[in-house]
Amino acid sequence: MQQMTVQEKVGQMFTIGFHGLEAPDYLLEWLAQGRAGGVILFARNIDTPEQVARLTASLHKAAKYPLLIGIDQEGGTVARLRKGFSESPGAMALAAASDEQTARTERVSAVLGEEMCAIGINWDYAPAVDLLYSAENPTMGTRSFGIDPEQVSSFAEAAVEGFQRAGVAACAKHFPGLGETAIDTHLALPRLTVSEAQLLNRDLMPYRAAIDAGIASIMTTHTIIETLDPDYPATLSPVIIQRLLRDELGFDGVVTTDCMEMKAIADHYGVGESAILAAKAGVDVILVSHTPEMQAQAYESLLQAVMNGDVSEEIIDAASARVEKLKSQFAITAAPDLEVIRHPDHLAIMEEAARAGTVLLYGEIPSLRGRVLAVEFASVLESGIVEMGGQTGFAQRLRERLPEIEIHSLPGGDLEAALAEQLTASARAADWVIVATRNAAWNAQQRAFAEALLQNAQNSILLCLRTPFDAPVLPRASAALCTCGDSAPSLDAAIDVLMGEFIPNGRLSIPVALP
């Protein structure tokens, strides 16, 4: 690789996002100038596999230096590649399987990695290895493998091996762990008072496992860990990045920030200031996901800080060297191979994993006879990480299998009182009522409506499509089923259970107090 200028070295530290299905001119110009080293894709950039392959090819072609194209493709709730791709169950579903848990996780991760690599994507911001301490954590939920640090460590290692064997750099997040916070960093700046001993003995165990497995990168959290650094969130803290991650854990791979436009950072620091502080703290890649003006300001501020000596060139050189090494390890060298996408073997792996992760919380699933009413609730999550709004096809899928069923998909916003009264009356007249919830535990209106349906039903099945925490807050149904996430294969698995095609034997990886 040719010798980089200081301007280019600083540019290689930035990964940026954009809006639309084609790369804007400014982005292509920055890539050609070496002013950006990576690009992050979101659902807003995704249409079909063919379109994504064209898009990534245009980005790789424009770039002066080898390019990192990243994406949040955890599987389950957080997945940007959905329609037209092999969807997977999420972390909680993988952890709920009663056998072959880690082997299955590695297979699923490898499928996701193969399909990303086949369309020109070489960096996956996954796996999420935060422990799920509390149902109140709004960011994690079914994205977490569970609460047991040893178990989560095993899954972290398996996911890393699967992704990276397929040719995609893995990225463990959110270092050093979101812990017991009830605040979403997209919306505000959380503070944690967790002890250093708990961090070392619990939250950091999955990171040790990921590092031992050779993970290529780690993403920091925008959370203040008061016992380590009461002044700066982890993203901007040399104590956490240098002393803890580099020195204590011995990680010498790429450290990337989460998006610097999230309110935890943006509301407390200017984008230029935060870029400088992140570089000083030891970050290698600064992620600015949305706004060209913010991206330009962050780059110019860091470059100026280097030129006037506020940030040493040694820091920039070290970051540039680690980024260059990552790019050489996960270079995209082959043309897109769309034959890989939704290969029958891939779909079979996802179907088997979704079935294994389906949990019968209580009761027995009956043979559905007579008049059946199904009500599906959409989800409203106030989080920037979840891009799939509304319902995701359970109603349509169920109607295809049971054409005679009465089924209603309800929006995620306000529910009309007249509709609630109408469906409650229908519930009284039905022989069976299926109530499919999404995060009713955190949505008072959805919870009240679901409660009325269950209380007025002769016989009922509660189907928790997102989280098992819906079950404890609702009246006991005749039976309750949890898919631990509502990606396509998990919805199909739930319907297969309702059709009597298999009996689920999954077990939750977290404690849930059932009614």
Q: What are phi and psi of 71, to 5 degrees?
A: -160, 150
Task: Please give the average per-residue pLDDT across 56-62, as a whole number.
Answer: 97
Task: Please give the average per-residue pLDDT across 383-389, as a whole number.
Answer: 49
Q: Is the pLDDT of residue 386 over 60?
A: no
Cα gap 281→1, rounded to integer Å: 27
For the record, the structure tokens of 161 come out as 């091996």
Residue whose C-alpha is closest to residue 343's, from 73, 111, 71: 111
Task: Please give the average per-residue pLDDT across 469-493, as a whole number.
Answer: 95
Q: Are the beta carbons of 481 and 471 closer than 8 angstroms?
A: no
pLDDT tens digits along 343-383: 999 999 999 999 999 999 999 999 888 999 999 998 765 44
Q: Which of 174, 184, 186, 486 is catalytic?
A: 186
Write out the E strands in 80-227. 123-124, 171-175, 191-192, 217-220, 224-225
The b-or-e profile of 6-15 (16+ CB within 10 A means b, else e) is eebbbbbbbb
**Range name among 11-25, 292-306, 364-378 with the lowest pLDDT average:** 364-378
pLDDT tens digits along 444-475: 899 999 999 999 999 999 999 988 999 999 99
Residue whose C-alpha is closest to residue 466's, from 135, 203, 44, 196: 135
Q: Is the pLDDT of residue 93 over 90?
A: yes
Residue with the bigger pLDDT between 416 and 90: it is: 90
Range list for CATH 3.20.20.300 in the chain = 6-340
Range list for CATH 3.40.50.1700 in the chain = 358-498
Write out the E strands in 289-428. 359-363, 372-377, 406-410
Q: Which of 72, 124, 229, 258 is catalytic?
A: 258
- Give the burial class of 417: count Cβ atoms within 10 A of its Cβ; 0-12 exposed, 13-18 middle, 19 or more buried: exposed
Cα gap 404→368, rounded to integer Å: 12
Question: What's the chain's average pLDDT?
Answer: 92
Query: Which pLDDT score, from 0 to 100, does residue 393 have?
Result: 81
358-498 CATH fold: Rossmann fold (3.40.50)
Q: Is the pLDDT of residue 114 over 80?
A: yes
pLDDT band at 389, cuts 50/70/90? very low
pLDDT band at 413, cuts 50/70/90? low
**Range name among 49-63, 93-107, 126-140, 157-171 with the lowest pLDDT average:** 126-140
Query: Which pLDDT score, from 0 to 100, does residue 385 have?
Result: 52
Which helix (H) or strand (E) segment holds residue 118: the answer is helix 101-118
222 is catalytic: no
Q: Is the pLDDT of residue 134 over 90?
A: no
**Range name among 56-70, 208-222, 418-432 with the lowest pLDDT average:** 418-432
pLDDT tens digits along 312-330: 999 999 999 999 999 999 9
Instruction: Show the CA angle centred on residue 496, arms to residues 495 and 502, nearest 5°.
Output: 145
**Quick one: what percent of the chain has pLDDT higher than 70?**
95
DSSP symbols for 426-471:
HHHH-SEEEEEESSGGG-HHHHHHHHHHHHH-SSEEEEESS-GGGG
The b-or-e profile of 482-506 (16+ CB within 10 A means b, else e) is bbbbbbbbbbbbbbbbbeeeeebeb
DSSP symbols for 208-247:
HHHHHTT--EEEE-S-EETTT-SSS-GGG-HIIIIIIIII
Which CATH number is associated with domain 6-340? 3.20.20.300
3-state secondary structure of 334: coil
Query: Which pLDDT score, from 0 to 100, does residue 287 have?
Result: 97
258 is catalytic: yes
- CA 107 vs CA 88, 163, 342, 352: distances in Å: 11, 9, 14, 11
What is the four-CA torsion angle of 229, 231, 236, 242, rounded to 10 degrees?
A: -30
Pairing of β 224-225 and β 191-192: parallel
- Within the chain, what is the greatest distance between any pair of CA atoms? 77
Residue with the bigger pLDDT between 381 and 511: it is: 511
pLDDT band at 11, cuts 50/70/90? very high
